[in-house]
Amino acid sequence: MNFITSLPWWVYLVLIIVTIILRDIFQKRHTIVHNFPLIGHIRYLLESIGPELRQYIVANNREELPFNRRQRSWVYASSKKENHYQGFGTDQDIHEAGYIFIKPALMPLKTDPNESFDKPCASAKIMGAHRDKPYRPKSIINISAMSYGSLSAAAVSALNQGAHQFGCYHNTGEGGLSPYHKFGSDVCFHFGTGYFGVRDHDGNFDLDKMVALVQANPNIKMIEVKLSQGAKPGKGGVLPGSKITKELAEIRHVKVGEAVLSPASHSAFSNIPEMVDFIETIAKHTGLPVGIKAAVGKLEMWEELAILMKDTGYGPDFITIDGGEGGTGAAPPSFADHVALPWVYAFSSVYKVFQRYGLTQRITFIGSGKLGMPDSAIMALAMGVDIINVAREALMSIGCIQAQVCHTNRCPTGIATNNKWLEAGLDPALKSVRFANYMKTLTKEIIEITHACGYEHPSQFNMDDIDVSMGDNAHTAPLRLAYGYQKDEVVMAKD
């Protein structure tokens, strides 16, 4: 024993290296490591940190997806109230296909030079004007559906507190209404095929639980039925039993430690007439506006829904169109990359269907899918959107670094994880202020551009106010020509 402890340090190092080399040679799982002992591990190390190297060192300001460095920097600076301006002109390729050009007026709208922009801009429309409890969102920018369980308690708390500070609503996501959604903001209660929070013992929708939930939580102002989402349209999911804690079980009305299936389709309805009956039943018993959320592909059922709404006067009070670009939800690459239309094509296709039947004033249109930047938000508003929901941009404002490991429970910023050590690094009190700052800056720039274009409210934008680059055709075209319709004029709601 004395002999071993008296050996110099380098002998231990050599023994460790030899041990690793022998282990590498005799293992058969990794060819590179077997053929190149010790050195082969460098390859796996570089592969594991490749995204970070590209994100911070290799890629330029405009290369990355889903959000490039310039976009992330703007969100970070806005949330911290730092200088988010840029100098020396644009560094974007303004001739690339799809580039957005917003047309300013020769004479901008005259405004009060002392006007404060540190407040939300109210929605132009009232949701469910004929319901017992109609709702006019205080902000045209709001938080999209992200569940507690997918996000940490600290992250949900930060978003809800920030939403209360700013004045927007907070969509619960399909994970149910948690204690972390109850810091004062308005809430959109969202549920999908798992009916979490409003399900019976067999996993079916329970109307009595829905009514009781709404009565016990007056902050719930609207109800959203998820048909599909941009991240994985038409696909269900499984929540592993290992993630079902006692708290999650109580919130979602499931059993502790038991895996829960979210089917691809609803059990409460199976066709358009049944879905409309389902919506009307919920609206009748809760008094709240009820809407649907979906990604878009085939249009036949959208046409059927529009015809039924026109003929009967029944149907959803709002429709949320989710872009096929995906979102915070984890999904197989085949779904995230190829299933469902990108937002611009999805929304324009659906809007035209309801426009043909004269329903655009009756429905509040909500857009979600990378619309949390001023230019993309204004484009969406010009196309017919009334409200914009933000998800990933909201997460960046509270610290997300786009590590893209949301599905691993190893989110380094404590946002998309239930790892208590990682979550402890996220301070809801600080991050709520940062989210509110981001929302103020986004709203401020939208309003300032609105005034530069001669308008008072963003809902006044139309499709001739925005040109889009046609790429190889070497010219631009208004959105009206690019997508084949003109948005209907929005009638402003009266308070």
Q: At what angle do helices 300-312 and 272-286 cross, to 10 degrees?
A: 50
pLDDT above 80 for 51: no
pLDDT of residue 87: 67
pLDDT of residue 479: 93
Closest CA to 66 of 391, 426, 468, 437: 391
- The phi, psi pair for 487, rounded to 5°, reads -60, 140
At 256, list the tokens.
């502790």
DSSP string of 369-410? SS--SHHHHHHHHHHT-SEEEESHHHHHHTT------GGGT-
Closest CA to 189 of 157, 211, 221: 221
Higher pLDDT, 229 or 164: 164
Name, in order, each residue with C-beta under 8 angstroms of 88's C-beta and a sequence gap of 6 or more. none
Higher pLDDT, 75 or 140: 140
pLDDT of residue 483: 93
Check if the beta carbon of residue 310 is closer than 8 Å to that of residue 356: no
Check if the beta carbon of residue 159 is closer than 8 Å to that of residue 165: no
**What is the Cα–Cα distance from 12 to 18, expressed in whole angstroms?**
10
* Residue 377's pLDDT band (cuts 50, 70, 90): very high
pLDDT above 90 for 471: no
Residues 294-338 have pLDDT tens digits of 999 999 999 999 999 999 999 999 999 998 776 655 666 677 667
Check if the beta carbon of residue 320 is closer than 8 Å to that of residue 294: yes
Q: At what angle do helices 153-166 and 428-452 cross, to 10 degrees?
A: 40
Check if the beta carbon of residue 109 is closer than 8 Å to that of residue 333: no
pLDDT over 70 percentage in the chain: 87
* Residue 61's pLDDT band (cuts 50, 70, 90): low
Check if the beta carbon of residue 452 is closer than 8 Å to that of residue 104: yes
Higher pLDDT, 128 or 407: 128
- Indicate the helix (H) or strand (E) that contains 73: helix 69-79
**What is the Cα–Cα distance from 74 to 82, expressed in whole angstroms?**
9
**What is the Cα–Cα distance from 148 to 171, expressed in whole angstroms?**
11
Higher pLDDT, 65 or 198: 198
Would you give the DSSP letter of residue 54?
I
Closest CA to 227 of 128, 346, 129, 125: 346
Residues 67-114 have pLDDT tens digits of 777 777 778 788 888 777 776 667 677 777 778 899 999 988 888 777
Average pLDDT on 394-405 reads 85
**What is the Cα–Cα distance from 219 to 188, expressed in whole angstroms?**
9
pLDDT of residue 92: 72
pLDDT, mean over the chain: 87
pLDDT of residue 495: 62
pLDDT over 90 percentage in the chain: 53
pLDDT of residue 448: 93
Total-model pTM: 0.87
Overall size of the chain counted in residues: 495
